[in-house]
Structure 1
Amino acid sequence: METVAVHPPMRERLATRIVMLSAVALVLVLTMIGGTLWLSWQLQGAGAAINDAGSLRMRANAVGIALLSAQRDGNAAAADEHIALMNATLDRLRRGDAARPLFLPDDAGIRQQFGSVADAWHKRLEPAARDTANASRYLAGLPSFVAGADTLVKLIEQENARKTAWLRTSQMALAALSCLGTVAIVYLLYLWFVAPVQRLQDGLARIQRREFDVRLPVESHDEFGNLAEGFNQMAAELQALYGDLAGRVEAKTAELAAQNRELTALYEMTAFLNLPNDVPALCDGFIARLTHQFDASGATVRLVSDEDDRLHLVASHGVPPELLDAERCMPVDDCLCGDAATQGAGVIHDAGRMSRRPCQIDASAGVAAFGIVSQGEKLGSFSLHFDTKRPIPASEMKLLETLGKHFGTALKNRRLAALERQFAVSEERNLVAQGLHDSIAQSLNFLKMQVHLLDAAARDARMDEIREIVPLLQGGVAESYDDVRELLNNFRSKLGSGKFRYAVESTMERFRSQAGIAVALEYREAGGPPLAADHQLQIIFILQEALSNVRKHAEASRVHVTIVNDSEFRLLVEDDGQGYDPDDMGFLDERHVGFHIMRERAERLSATLQLTGSPGRGARVELVLPTHARQAV
Structure 2
Amino acid sequence: MSTRIVVLSGVALAFVLTMIVVTLLLSWQLEGAGAAINDAGSLRMRAGNVAIALGEARAGRASAIDTQVALLDRTIANLKRGEPARPLFLPDTGAIREQFDVVSITWRELLKPTIEYDESRPAAEPLAYLTYLPSFVEQADGLVRLIEQENARKTAWLRRSQMALAAMACVGAIAIVYLLYLWFVLPVQRLEDGLARIKRREFGARLPVDTRDEFGHLAHGFNRMAKELQSLYQDLEQRVTYKTAQLATQNRELSALYEMTAFLHEPHDVETLCRGFLTRIMRQFDAQGGTVRALGNDDDTLHLVASEGLSAELVDAERCMPANDCVCSSAAQAGLPVIRDMRRHAPKQPAELATHCGKAGYAAVAAFGIVSQDTTLGSFSLHFRHETAMPGSEVQLLETLGRHLGTALQNHRLAGAARQFAVAQERHLVAQGLHDSIAQSLNFLKIQVHMLDTAAQQGDLGEVREIVPLLRGGLEESYDDVRELLVNFRTKLGSGDLRRVVEDTVTRFERQSDARVAWRFDEAGGPPLPPEQQLQVLFILQEALSNVRKHAQASEVRVEIENARDFRMLIEDDGQGYENADIAGRGEAHVGFHIMRERAARLGAQLTLEGEPGRGARVALWLCASERQAA
Using the size of structure 1 for normalisation, the TM-score is: 0.65
Structure-2 change in CA distance of 1:552 and 1:205 (3 Å): same
1:323, 1:359 within 8 Å by CA — same for their partners in 2?
no
Per-residue deviation, residues 207-229 of structure 1 (Å, max 9, x unmatched): x245254679999989xx99988
1:214, 1:235 within 8 Å by CA — same for their partners in 2?
no
Q: C-alpha separation between the residues in 1 aligned to 2:250 and 2:578? A: 74
- Match 2:619 to one of 618, 621, 632: 621
2:328, 2:380 within 8 Å by CA — same for their partners in 1?
yes
Q: C-alpha separation between the residues in 2 aligned to 1:260 and 1:216? A: 49
**1:199 match:** 193
Structure-2 change in CA distance of 1:544 and 1:250 (3 Å): same
Structure-2 change in CA distance of 1:501 and 1:196 (3 Å): farther
Most deviating of 259-268 and 317-326:
259-268
The code of the aligned residue for 1:275 comes to E
Larger radius of gyration: 2
Q: C-alpha separation between the residues in 2 aligned to 1:571 and 1:229? A: 92
Secondary structure of residue in 1 paired with 2:413:
helix
- Aligned pair 1:334/2:325, yes or no? yes
Could you tell me how far 1:529 is from its partner in structure 2?
A: 2.4
The code of the aligned residue for 1:211 comes to G
Per-residue deviation, residues 152-179 of structure 1 (Å, max 9, x unmatched): xxxxxxxxxxxxxxxxxxxxxxxxxxxx
Could you tell me how far 1:589 is from its partner in structure 2?
A: 4.8
Could you tell me how far 1:429 is from its partner in structure 2?
A: 0.4
1:576, 1:618 within 8 Å by CA — same for their partners in 2?
yes
Q: C-alpha separation between the residues in 2 aligned to 1:216 and 1:468? A: 134
**2:126 match:** none
**2:345 match:** 352
**1:506 match:** 504
Q: C-alpha separation between the residues in 1 aligned to 2:456 and 2:259? A: 79
Structure-2 change in CA distance of 1:239 and 1:501 (3 Å): same
**1:464 match:** 462
- Aligned pair 1:361/2:354, yes or no? no
**2:428 match:** 430
Could you tell me how far 1:465 is from its partner in structure 2?
A: 0.8
- Match 2:258 to one of 267, 271, 276: 267
- Match 2:482 to one of 484, 505, 509: 484
Could you tell me how far 1:255 is from its partner in structure 2?
A: 2.7
- Aligned pair 1:565/2:563, yes or no? yes
* Mapping of residues 441-590 of structure 1, within 5 Å: 441-586=439-584, 589=587
* Mapping of residues 78-89 of structure 1, within 5 Å: none
The code of the aligned residue for 1:266 comes to L
1:365, 1:388 within 8 Å by CA — same for their partners in 2?
yes
**1:306 match:** 297
2:191, 2:219 within 8 Å by CA — same for their partners in 1?
no
In structure 2, runs of 5+ residues without a counterpart are 3-184
- Aligned pair 1:440/2:438, yes or no? yes
Using the size of structure 2 for normalisation, the TM-score is: 0.65
Structure-2 change in CA distance of 1:219 and 1:482 (3 Å): farther
Secondary structure of residue in 2 paired with 1:528:
coil
Could you tell me how far 1:379 is from its partner in structure 2?
A: 0.3
Secondary structure of residue in 2 paired with 1:563:
strand
Most deviating of 619-628 and 579-588:
579-588
Structure-2 change in CA distance of 1:425 and 1:403 (3 Å): same
1:213, 1:239 within 8 Å by CA — same for their partners in 2?
no
Q: C-alpha separation between the residues in 1 aligned to 2:468 and 2:218? A: 118
Could you tell me how far 1:239 is from its partner in structure 2?
A: 3.4
**2:270 match:** 279
Q: C-alpha separation between the residues in 2 aligned to 1:527 and 1:232? A: 79
Could you say what the CA RMSD is over the residues aligned between the two structures, in angstroms? 3.1
- Aligned pair 1:211/2:209, yes or no? no
1:218, 1:229 within 8 Å by CA — same for their partners in 2?
no
Structure-2 change in CA distance of 1:423 and 1:256 (3 Å): same
Q: C-alpha separation between the residues in 1 aligned to 2:265 and 2:538? A: 32
Structure-2 change in CA distance of 1:226 and 1:574 (3 Å): farther
In structure 1, runs of 5+ residues without a counterpart are 1-8, 10-190
Could you tell me how far 1:581 is from its partner in structure 2?
A: 2.2
Q: C-alpha separation between the residues in 2 aligned to 1:200 and 1:527? A: 77
Q: C-alpha separation between the residues in 2 aligned to 1:405 and 1:396? A: 14
1:199, 1:216 within 8 Å by CA — same for their partners in 2?
no
Could you tell me how far 1:295 is from its partner in structure 2?
A: 0.3
Q: C-alpha separation between the residues in 1 aligned to 2:483 and 2:217? A: 99
Q: C-alpha separation between the residues in 2 aligned to 1:219 and 1:556? A: 119
Could you tell me how far 1:590 is from its partner in structure 2?
A: 5.3
Percent identity among equivalent residues?
58
Q: C-alpha separation between the residues in 2 aligned to 1:513 and 1:220? A: 116
Could you tell me how far 1:276 is from its partner in structure 2?
A: 2.3
2:575, 2:615 within 8 Å by CA — same for their partners in 1?
yes
Q: C-alpha separation between the residues in 2 aligned to 1:622 and 1:496? A: 24
Structure-2 change in CA distance of 1:215 and 1:630 (3 Å): farther
